[in-house]
Structure 1
């Protein structure tokens, strides 16, 4: 319970006590005075001003929240566009997955050939080049190293 709520409850209790004291025909004079004094203390100007300020603040907060609720109630997204975007995204994701698998497949086929560089092989390399073997290896993504 907040201080304002406690203050309001004290003021209410004092007001009800003062009201009942004024209505009771048999109540003695001192009890009536005590009830009225208690109400006057609870309803002093500082307490009344604090209560009014708290009520105004609560009213502003309620108005703000009502405005926010109204905006939420009027929110109407274009579900067709959202659905189309989602489908488009799924198609692109599927294409990316296919491309990723193809890249992995091609990377697994890369061949690296290392030929020795002895005199015998030096002559053979020329033969390979004439037969386009080295060119074919390079076109397939392979590499040829000469020591």
Structure 2
């Protein structure tokens, strides 16, 4: 039973860390200009935390089978309190993650528009081709003068 309590405590701690990471992710996504390096670091942290939470959740299930009990642990008030805290934190993090999805889509649209604008601008202002010649067709008459 002590192992299950430790596992639930570890899950709760990781979920609280995930909540902090998600809050920072929302903060980054709400900015006018996103810092891609910071966003990547947050994404990596989120992935690491989710993997660890999954590990402890699998461990929790194994310990429940071994002890012959199951969540929400109605007969065990200490475990029930931990489980209720976990469920509450999961709800909060799920909502935060749901709020991040439209912001990510918005940032992706902004990036695509910016990329499109830059590619149009660079194509219009190119003076020379890869061969070193001007891309514009000559206008008027061209004379070849030899002396």
Shorter-chain TM-score: what band?
0.3 to 0.5
Scaled by the length of structure 1, the TM-score of the pair is: 0.35
Scaled by the length of structure 2, the TM-score of the pair is: 0.35
Higher relative contact order (CA 8 A, sep 6+): 2
The structure richer in strand per residue is 1
